[in-house]
Structure 1
Amino acid sequence: MREIVTLQVGCFSNFIGSHFWNFQDELLGLAEEVDGDPVFKSPSLNLDTIYRYGETRQGYPTYTPRLVSIGFQGSLGSLSSADLSSYDIPSSRPSEIVTWTGEVSKVVAQPHKKNLFLQRLCEEGTSSYASGKGESSVMEDKQVTENLENSVHYWTDFSKAHYHHRSLHELHASWGTVQQFNNYGAGKQLLTSNTPEADDIIDRLRFFVEECDHMQGIQCVADDSGGFSGVAADLLEHIADEYPNNPVLLFSARNTERKPVTRAELVKRSLHDAVSFSMLSGLSSLTVPIGLPSLSSSKAAAFLGVDDAKPFHTSAVYAASIHSIGLPLRMEPPGPASNSCDVIGAIDLGQLVQMLSGQSWRNKVIILDGALPAPGLEGPLLSNLHPLTPETAAGIDDPRAVESLVIQGALISGRRPNLHEVESLIQKEYESYGSARFSHLALALCPLPVPLPFPSFFNEASSIPMAARLRSTAAILPFLRRRCDDLRRLGFAGSGAGILAEWGIARGEAEELAEAMATMTAELDPHPELSSESD
């Protein structure tokens, strides 16, 4: 077994993660349906890679994500640590030992009201739900979906996965300080000044890592805006020290944000972007920035009806692409007993890192493209993949480009082709580019399942074809240059130097960050002399 441990750090990252685990939970349910579509029953896709088996003291089996999730205190909504305390851990009776004889006052917060989806989940676990199916008391899927559009305030409002009690951690010290927890320095200082909190998070991570037999690496989805980027940097630094031989795939996530109004806000935002990216990318094997300024107006979401003001919407698009691009890591490797009719292109995380960053250059900042849903293969596919990474250059013909393309559930004129037919069509499309390009292709017959708690992008479709791609290419240069230039221009004089000092970043450390980004940019720049003249 080649396990992957997942980290989710921050509010938006947990929204993405909630959708991601819903996809996995849906796949598990579809695989167990007696009369279900056999395409969902393939043994070649192994969720044991990202899930773990457990057992309660009462002997009940459990199957939960190998996950550590970090968010604000109170960000679990109607879910609480108490809800997980009876799941996958021994039960115990309340202690009868009394250590206080004085008066006791009890303050109970008003619980968050469950929306229709969560109410339905609770009903499904009762015998009365099963006996009452078809009656007026049963909520229709459409009613639940419509309610979700306006009732999602927390990522748990649309989560249907079960979690291990060690998975979910709330940052207690950040309670009530959301507005102040808005920069890289706040996150770094929070863990640095709160050793018990840091120790608790590290112990949770160590629990999942140490039970792995042969861990292939760590997948991390971390907020790139606000203090959670600092929290993520602390965690990744610990991982680099304690598990130096395990690759880290980082999705640096950002939701749609309000544009800075004042000059001071612009300076702080620009410095945060530069520092956060430089720190996080320096601690990961591959960094994939995701989060367009306006997803709704992008080509990637042209047919989806995305509402940028709803994280429930935007996170769904990014989660779908992360799910698809990670399929090769969950495929069973080819062998005498493998079924190549269901999947093609199994690789592990180390191989993916080596392929995308270990070629003629040392680039490790990768572009994520998606096609949601993927078009039918009777027409072109590659031109219908659009970036979910911000600030990328279009129309770049880069002969050094390396990419990993994943297609699941492909259709040709409405029919489901075999994988070798799909492989042949895609290879011909690559050849039509006429430029030298190394690519890895992974295919799965299984389409992307559309679970009930998902935005109504696809009407009543239960599954869709999906394609996603990771690209190592010079098209990422605009993203890199802006952060490099902002740090050099703003970070060493005036208010910018003071901001970095407040975040605990000394001038020498800022110079090292700027130099590292300049080196990263130079690796990719085909015309460095022109860039230096423009600078």
Structure 2
Amino acid sequence: MVHEIVTLQFGPQSNYLGTHFWNAQESYFTYGDEDQSVIDHDIHFRPGLAPDNTETFTPRALLYDLRDCFGTLRHATALYDLQAENADDPANALWNRPALTTRLPPIPPHTYQTALSAGLPPPPIDPSSLRYWSDFNRVFYHPRSLIPLTPPAAQLAPFADGALSPFERWDVGEDVFAAEDGEHDLLDRDLRPFVEECDQVQGFSVMTGADDAWAAFAAKYVERIRDEYGRKAVWVWGVQGPRGESREQANNRLTNSARALDAFATHATLYMPLRNDAVTSPAYLAVDPASRWHTAALQAAAMETATLPSRLRRGGDSLYNSLQDMADVFTADAKRNVVQVSLRARDPSVKRLVNGTGGVHDVKMGGVDDEDHEREPAELDISLFSTAPRPRANHVFARVDVRRRQGKGGESDDEEENTRQAQRVVTKLNVPLGLPILSSFPRIFDFTGDSIDVHTGLGTGSGVADRVRYEAEVVQRSRMIPDREGLRADLLARAEEYVEGWEWSESEEDD
């Protein structure tokens, strides 16, 4: 029996992230005499029939964005034509006059899409040429996956430079959700059809803006999912978009981030905030923080790798772990569901050997990876978790490590690494599948080849407490939150979940 995952994406940055994610999933399909993929495609893709009875395989996904953000991705696609599907709709018979059609000027396709449509090798993408996330999309969606929203013009009109635009405000996101849900019942119209066609849903993967109106919209949506599907795992990835803003906009984003953290930590199984840039940037990483294409690619490398175990084929020596299996590592004994995300990337053609003096050096081909002998959680050199302004050393309570390497898989040979270690739970999984570097993926990693090795860590640690306390201070100073004292108290109480028992033992050792 398949244990499916339904994906929901809210807002432009999450749809850039989702496009990278779905492009990677499409690349795992195998054809003809190729070896079977380790990925169970039925978990994320749904079979169907186009109007001409052609078999289709499209993502189990709902993509929400403003109507003008879809670009050339239309409801009528190469696989489906909604006009044909709706030709016999009885509602069409209620209007017996000629239809008046108003057409906007067509959006010219990106050169990348033109090449794909012609079956030609696509040209390298110039970041400055991208206008929409659909410009580098490689996947066909079912029309009902694409949900454009058209809020009232007053909620979209830009303000003067440096001022807040309406769709950056939390209250606007709540208002748009209330209006849409009140008119259509979003779960009944959009989500339920995808859920009911599944054998057994293991959970929901939610990607959303974390510091704008989309955070509020998604928070209300996730609350409804929790009410409707209480036992299912709900993983929320809260993404930041590019920066370049006034002080008022920066303060608004901090306030929205605090409200999002409290809302998603309340209703989601796990909440993973993802920065739009790395806290630390190793020499091999080059990300343009002003490019959604770049920042979403880094976020996708972490998110897609961390969730790999949830879509592996089952049976035999499979390392399949459901979303709930991995979440239990963090939440079984404590209410620690705000998770830090970090990663490290490596060129698969370079191996690090442990030499006779205990040092390491890089060689080409062959050898033993020093990561195989790590007893403590590995130090990963890219962190996507926003730290507090004055962070302390991070004490790790629990961590799930996923290492993806071409042709090398299996659980760690050291059984102790997958059990409790000094008040710490560490689970390590090795998946024999590199991260594909497609033509749609920017060269943010200074490696050659068409795939790279990636090691991600999802962890709960004392650094979360430092960040949550900082956001509680932001809330206390904010004038944008009606019940700021209540929210501040909730955040401080949540921070205590990440220090109880650890700060006490630390002070005992100091004595």
TM over 0.5: yes
Partner of residue 469, structure 2: 481
Q: 2:151 aligns with which of 157, 173, 176?
A: 173
CA distance in 2, matches of 1:528, 1:111: 64
Residue 346 (structure 1) aligned with residue 320 (structure 2): yes
List runs of 5+ in structure 1 lacking aligned partners.
Answer: 125-137, 411-415
Specify the alignment match of 2:199 in structure 1: 213
Q: Does 1:113 align with 2:108?
A: yes
Q: What is the SS of the residue equivalent to 2:28? A: helix
Asked if 1:355 is matched to 2:301, the reply is no
Matched, 1:245 2:226: no
Q: Distance in 1 between matches of 2:88 and 2:233?
A: 43
Aligned positions of 1:260-299 closer than 5 A: 260-261=246-247, 264-265=248-249, 267-292=251-276, 294-295=277-278, 298-299=279-280
| One-letter amino acid of the counterpart of residue 451, structure 2 | S
Q: Secondary structure at the match of 2:386?
A: coil
Please point out which of 339, 344, 367 is paired with 1:366.
339
Over residues 264-286 of structure 1, what are the superposed CA-to-partner deviations in whole Å (9 max), with x where a residue is unaligned?
Answer: 55553433222222122212111
Deviation at 1:384, TM superposition (A): 3.7
User: C-alpha displacement at 1:50, in angstroms?
Assistant: 1.2
The secondary structure found in structure 2 opposite 1:289 is strand
**Mean Cα deviation higher: 147-156 or 205-214:** 147-156
Q: TM-score, normalised by structure 2?
A: 0.83
Q: 1:452 aligns with which of 439, 443, 457?
A: 439
CA shift for structure 1 position 373: 3.4
Task: Map 1:421-460 to 2 at 5 A.
Answer: 423-424=412-413, 437-457=424-444
Q: Which has the higher contact order (CA 8 A, sep 6+)?
A: 1
Map residues 170-209 of structure 1 onto 2, 5 A cutoff. Answer: 170-173=148-151, 176-177=156-157, 179-195=165-181, 198-200=184-186, 202-209=188-195
Q: Aligned partner of 1:363: which letter?
A: R
TM-score normalised by length of structure 1: 0.79
Counterpart for residue 223 of structure 1: 209
Q: Provide the rounded CA distance (Å) in 1 between the counterparts of 2:421 and 2:186.
A: 53
Q: 1:406: which partner in 2? A: 402
Q: Does the residue aligned with 1:350 lie in a helix, a strand or coil?
A: helix
1:318 partnered with 2:286: no
- Say if 1:307 and 1:314, in contact at 8 Å, map to a contact too: yes
| Matched letter for residue 435 of structure 2 | L
Aligned residue runs from structure 1 range 5-154, under 5 A: 5-28=6-29, 31-32=30-31, 34=33, 38=35, 41-42=36-37, 44-83=38-77, 86=80, 91=85, 93=87, 99=95, 101=97, 106-124=101-119, 141=122, 144-145=123-124, 147-154=125-132
Q: Tell me the alpha carbon deviations over residues 496-516 of structure 1, each in whole angstroms, 9 at most, x when there is no partner.
A: 1xx33xxxx4x3xx4443222
The answer as to whether partners of 2:6 and 2:194 remain within 8 angstroms in 1 is yes
Q: SS in structure 1 opposite 2:221?
A: helix
Distance across 2 between alignment mates of 1:280 and 1:184:
14
Measure how far apart 1:202 and its partner are: 4.5
Q: Given the alignment of the two structures, is residue 419 of structure 1 paired with residue 420 of structure 2, yes or no?
A: no
Does 1:464 find its partner at 2:452?
yes
Corresponding residue for 2:374? Answer: none
**Residue identity in the other structure for 1:5:** V
2:144 counterpart SS class:
coil
Give the whole-Å Cα distance in 2 for the aligned partners of 1:50 and 1:13.
Answer: 17
User: Cα deviation per residue 1:101-140 (whole Å; 9 max; x = unaligned)?
Assistant: 58x764321111112210011112xxxxxxxxxxxxx5x5
**Contact preservation (8 Å) 1:288, 1:368:** yes
Aligned partners of 2:127 and 2:113: how far apart in 1?
Answer: 14
Q: 1:441 and 1:459 mapped to 2: Cα distance?
A: 25
The whole-number CA distance in structure 2 between the counterparts of 1:174 and 1:160 is: 32
Are the counterparts in 2 of residues 88 and 164 from structure 1 also a CA contact under 8 Å? Answer: no
Partner residue of 1:520?
494
Give the drift of 1:474: 1.2
Mapped contact 2:62–2:145 kept (Cα < 8 A): yes
More strand by share: 2
For residue 128 of structure 1, what is the aligned residue in structure 2?
none
Q: 1:309 aligns with which of 253, 272, 290?
A: 290
The answer to whether the 8 A contact 1:313-1:455 is kept is yes
Q: Distance in 2 between matches of 1:91 and 1:269?
A: 42
Q: Would you say 1:156 and 2:150 are equivalent positions?
A: no
Distance 2:225 2:31 in 1: 36
Do the aligned partners of 1:62 and 1:88 also contact (CA within 8 Å) in 2?
no
Specify whether residues 430 and 245 from structure 1 end up closer, same or farther in structure 2 by C-alpha distance, changes over 3 A only. closer
Counterpart Cα distance in 1 of 2:421 and 2:232 = 37
Q: Greater helix share, 1 or 2? A: 1
Aligned to 1:236: 222
Contact 2:51 2:80 in 1 (8 A): no
Q: Which structure 2 residue ranges, 5 or more long, are not aligned?
A: 159-164, 354-368, 372-377
Deviation, structure 1 residue 208: 0.8
* More deviation, 242-251/90-99: 90-99
Whether the 8 Å CA contact 1:186–1:227 is kept in 2: the answer is yes
Instruction: Tell me how far apart the structure 1 counterparts of residues 418 and 332 of structure 2 sit (CA, whole Å).
Output: 22
Per-residue Cα deviation, 1:23-56 (whole angstroms, up to 9, x for no partner): 001111xx2264x5x4xx33x4212111111123
Question: Cα distance, 1:377 vs. partner?
Answer: 5.1
Shift of 1:7: 0.7
Q: Does 1:396 find its partner at 2:393?
A: yes
The residue identity in structure 2 corresponding to 1:320 is A
Code of the residue aligned with 2:433 in structure 1: it is C
Q: Is the 8 A contact 1:300 1:388 kept in 2?
A: no
- Quick one: structure 1 residues 151 and 259, their matched pair in 2 at CA, closer, same or farther if it must change by over 3 Å? closer
CA distance in 1, matches of 2:189, 2:87: 25
Pair 459,486 (structure 1): closer, same or farther in 2 beyond 3 Å: closer
Question: 2: CA distance between counterparts of 1:367 and 1:373?
Answer: 21
**RMSD (CA atoms):** 3.2
Deviation at 1:332, TM superposition (A): 3.0
Alpha carbons of structure 1 residues 428 and 174: separation in structure 2 relative to 1, 3 Å:
farther
- State the AA in 2 paired with 1:349: L
Please state whether the residue corresponding to 2:439 is helix, strand or coil: coil
1:259 positional shift: 4.5
